[in-house]
Amino acid sequence: METIANDKKKVIVKEITNIDEDFAKWYTDIVRKTRLCDYSSVKGCMIIEPYGYAIWENIMRELDNRFKKISVKNCAMPMFIPESLLTKEKEHVEGFSPECAWVTVGGDEVLEERLCVRPTSETLFCDYYKDVIKSYRDLPKLLNQWVSVVRWEKTTRPFLRSREFYWQEGHTAHQSIEEAKDFTIKMLNTYADFIENFLAIPVIKGKKTEKEKFAGALETYTVESIMRDGKALQSATSHNFGDGFAKAFGIKFLDKNNELSYIYQTSWGLSTRIIGAIIMVHGDNEGLKLPPKVAPTQIMIIPIKVKDENNVKKANELYNLLINLGFRVEIDLTDKSPGFKFADSEMRGIPLRIEIGLKDIENEQVVFVRRDNHQKRIIKTINLVESIKYELDDIQKSMFDDAKRFLNSHIDVATNLKELVDKIDKSSGFVRAMHCGEKECEEKLKNDTGITARCIPFDKVLSNNKCAVCGRDAKYEVIFGRAY
Amino acid sequence: METIANDKKKVIVKEITNIDEDFAKWYTDIVRKTRLCDYSSVKGCMIIEPYGYAIWENIMRELDNRFKKISVKNCAMPMFIPESLLTKEKEHVEGFSPECAWVTVGGDEVLEERLCVRPTSETLFCDYYKDVIKSYRDLPKLLNQWVSVVRWEKTTRPFLRSREFYWQEGHTAHQSIEEAKDFTIKMLNTYADFIENFLAIPVIKGKKTEKEKFAGALETYTVESIMRDGKALQSATSHNFGDGFAKAFGIKFLDKNNELSYIYQTSWGLSTRIIGAIIMVHGDNEGLKLPPKVAPTQIMIIPIKVKDENNVKKANELYNLLINLGFRVEIDLTDKSPGFKFADSEMRGIPLRIEIGLKDIENEQVVFVRRDNHQKRIIKTINLVESIKYELDDIQKSMFDDAKRFLNSHIDVATNLKELVDKIDKSSGFVRAMHCGEKECEEKLKNDTGITARCIPFDKVLSNNKCAVCGRDAKYEVIFGRAY
């Protein structure tokens, strides 16, 4: 059996580019061959296929539950923003207008005012909040929406950068700057916990530099993750707007002292980019590797002899048992060879494979094969459910530990520019270094090398006080890297 | 207590227009005062507020579970359709192009080809199916997406008709016309069962006439409901496309005999219009009236003396108990009067109100008040959970029965045009009549009277054979009415 498996596996695996030879092509191969998404006739827009969308559905369900637990409610704003509304906050419009898609014709008429297809919805929420917030009794407002947004990108890649992408965007309104800031951090922590514990992706929490912060924000917080090629992926962001938007839109409320005050706002989002992170943090040369909590299929059952009625019957019994217990299970009853099925299940990243053959039935056992470490175990039927729970938990944990080890071994420190660039490129990872905090210094670094400040990390390890890039006095510690 | 309640209630209720005086204004009052949705700065587009969106979330969850049980999978197509793709199927484009919104500028550039913001996604699914369906092994494809679509309507009303609305659109591909037709009917039945058993809205199942069918469809099936003003609301539709789209798009597969054949397709959808139906089927002069299964809040707990610590404590204990049992519950601890709270809870359509006062605590009881029939019952704490389950089930059932009685008493029969128009207008309802099946006859009726053929019902009751509109030979029985 093993021999067949390995032979057939090679045939399938050959179709996936080796991860060490061409990471970008490996990524595209995985996306396409596991049918996560497809290209469409609309340039730069993707079709999220059922397997990819099932991952997104699991992400939405879990994250939405977490939001609801902290009293966030969902709503739906229009997908269009009139140009006059978009341009009310100066920095915001400057950040987004170069990548807007514009509706100029509706029905058979040219519109009097063109409408932007939302690139993000701060302005729409402001317009709504201005209407519904009158008094401190109306605060806080903790709203969110699950929608797609459009940004007219020039170069696109599935999940990572596309003209239309899916996300949630939360928008809140508060009575004080302190409450807004606390909520910004609360959402950052919500994302960090979700990404680490549900997606098994370790993150670094920090604040964006002035240069990298969101258009219109006072402060932007971020969770950054490292991909297997050493590049960073900004996994979610949380923005504290202060009263900037409130002043631009004139959103005031009567406070407890009966005085008119501006509201304070936040926004925070996580998008389908995170599916790119799941691929690039966990995947390997066999294909996708999904953490059990987010995997659309947690267990693949493969009967070895599909032509044997009893084998199929026993496999089906197992399938029904596990489905009824709430596991997400598939069974492969096609006439393909077991070896092909093993490889296919691995390529699709299904965490646990259960093989059941005639000998297994006789011995009241099944065979477990883990996707993460390829370990094979014979499990007595009597211990089945307990063993599955144990393995799925352990796979989830092991995948996080493995990714955490990779992150830890790919963060270095640097005290000067040469060291900074060399270490990022040679060890393919992040570098901690002190920075002067000047926008121009960061911009020069980016233009010269492509390296960007990922964040000012919450945890600091450096003690020197000279900017590693320009040598001037340093303001704070920064984690630098190349980013998606 | 009762006196206060009624006094305060009047104050609130006064704000809602009487349902018999001005139904349209009554509808808008309910939508706005219960905060289901708000107008936006984008003409004709609505903001679905949290309470309205929570209804939509319950609809999505239940319907999506029902779809998944019959192997339908979710995916996501782009929101844009290139003009050349939209125009591939002739009838389809003629049906939709007058109400398309067009993106003509992306980033800073005028697009080479303008993009329509999807009014529906048949063409996108065809484009995808052409790419992924090669053999009978790839069939059936049973896909769905939950998205918003855009139709540039001239006159709009919250939920009933807006330029952007939310829906699910299912699109399937099959090997044979029989399988496609069976699936079309299966989805119609899925909708009918969902609308009747979850939303407590009785429906009439039928087929659309040639004039009323969907642009590009071979046959359109519909579930029609009657509103309290006697007008019809098309609650969901299911279309059998035959191989029309497949021929226009060239979608072929290798069948079991190794011959190339065109696929057969269906599509089916239910939208946020259904929230309009919930309002107009169940609501009354006190406000909204929600069936327990779809209500965001099933139970409102109102402690009578919020200044009494023990009263609040007991009410909170009750709240926690019911939340933990999985009921959707709110508790009103504000300093407003109990009477105001009673009326507010009724206006928001919450099915069951539980009042708990000092005397109730002493007697180990609570007071139940049902929204549907205003019945008041004293319930011993020991029977609480059982009684809640009973009442919620009974409210759901009673609301359906009541709506069903209304429907049955508002369908009449007619044998000539005068009778048809009179009966529809005098009894404000539907009329069954025979029809010749000619498009021109239907069009004349619509132009002259505003009355349309709602459907050719599955159940037939008439035996005459002359068209009630033009007197020629009849082809089939039709249910006529005025429609939203």
Residue contact B100–A107, C-beta within 8 A: yes
**Percentage with pLDDT > 90 across chain B:** 93
**Residue B216: which region, alpha, beta or left (left: phi > 0; alpha: psi -120 to 50)?**
left
Distance from CA of B256 to the nearest CA of A (A): 15
**What is the end-to-end Cα distance of chain A in Å, rounded?**
41
pLDDT, tens digit, for every residue of B38-93?
999 999 999 999 999 999 999 999 999 999 999 999 999 999 999 999 999 888 88
Closest residue, chain A, to B115 (C-alpha): A42
Integer angstrom CA distances of residue B68 from A52, B305, B382: 16, 47, 39
For range A458-480, the mean pLDDT:
95
User: Is the minimum CB–CB distance between B152 and chain A shorter than 8 Å?
Assistant: yes
What is the pLDDT at residue B3?
41
**The pair of three-digit structure tokens given for residue B146, joined into one six-digit string:** 């939950």
At residue B239, the 3 state secondary structure works out as strand
- Report d(CA B122, CA B248) in Å as an integer: 12
| CATH assignment, B411-481 | 3.30.110.30
What is the pLDDT at residue A10?
53
Place of tokens 């793709």: B85
What is the pLDDT at residue A52?
98
Distance from CA of A46 to the nearest CA of B (A): 6
pLDDT, tens digit, for every residue of A224-281?
999 999 999 999 999 999 999 999 999 999 999 999 999 999 999 999 999 999 999 9
Domain extent listing, chain B = 2-9+289-396, 22-282, 411-481
Residue contact B148–A76, C-beta within 8 A: yes
- Decide whether B2-9+289-396 matches B22-282 in CATH topology: no
Residue contact A78–B42, C-beta within 8 A: yes
Evaluate whether B330 touches B318 at the Cβ level (below 8 Å).
no
For range A358-369, the mean pLDDT:
97
User: Is the minimum CB–CB distance between A48 and chain B shorter than 8 Å?
Assistant: yes
User: Is the minimum CB–CB distance between A185 and chain B shorter than 8 Å?
Assistant: no
Integer angstrom CA distances of residue A396 from A350, A370, B246: 12, 11, 44
**Residue A9: band (very low, low, confident or very high) from pLDDT cuts 50, 70, 90:** low
pLDDT at A427 over 90: no
What is the pLDDT at residue B442?
97
For range A4-12, the mean pLDDT:
52
Distance from CA of A278 to the nearest CA of B (A): 19
**The pair of three-digit structure tokens given for residue B170, joined into one six-digit string:** 């299912």
pLDDT, tens digit, for every residue of B258-284?
999 999 999 999 999 999 999 999 999
CATH match for A19-79+122-282 among 3.10.180.10, 3.30.930.10, 3.30.750.24, 3.40.250.10: 3.30.930.10
User: Is the minimum CB–CB distance between A41 and chain B shorter than 8 Å?
Assistant: yes
Distance from CA of B269 to the nearest CA of A (A): 18
Count the alpha carbons within 13 Å of B43 in the hemisphere toward its beta carbon: 12
What letter would DSSP give residue B98? G
pLDDT, tens digit, for every residue of A17-50?
999 999 999 999 999 999 999 999 999 999 999 9
Residue contact A41–B132, C-beta within 8 A: no
**Residue A213: band (very low, low, confident or very high) from pLDDT cuts 50, 70, 90:** very high
| A residues 106-145 lying closer than 8 A (beta carbon) to B | 106-108, 114-115, 117, 124, 127-128, 131-132, 143
The DSSP bridge pattern shows strands B141-150 and B164-174 to be antiparallel
Closest residue, chain B, to A334 (C-alpha): B137
User: Is the minimum CB–CB distance between A74 and chain B shorter than 8 Å?
Assistant: yes
Evaluate whether A125 touches A85 at the Cβ level (below 8 Å).
no
What is the pLDDT at residue B333?
97
**In CATH, B22-282 is 3.90.180.10:** no
**Percentage with pLDDT > 90 across chain A:** 93
Short-list B251, B296, B234, CA closest to B139:
B251
Mean pLDDT of chain B: 95
User: Is the minimum CB–CB distance between B75 and chain A shorter than 8 Å?
Assistant: yes
What is the pLDDT at residue A90?
87
Closest residue, chain B, to A144 (C-alpha): B50
Residue type, B309: E
CB contacts of A98 in chain B (<8 Å) are 107-108
What is A2-9+289-394's CATH topology? Rossmann fold (3.40.50)
Distance from CA of B426 to the nearest CA of A (A): 36
User: Is the minimum CB–CB distance between B99 and chain A shorter than 8 Å?
Assistant: yes
pLDDT at A1 over 50: no
**Percentage with pLDDT > 70 across chain B:** 97
CATH superfamily of B2-9+289-396: Anticodon-binding domain (3.40.50.800)
pLDDT at B9 over 70: no
Which of B32, B39, B40, B48 to mutate against chain A (most A CBs within 10 Å)?
B40
Predicted model pTM: 0.96
pLDDT at B14 over 80: no
pLDDT, tens digit, for every residue of A345-356?
999 999 999 999
DSSP H/E element including B442 = helix B439-449
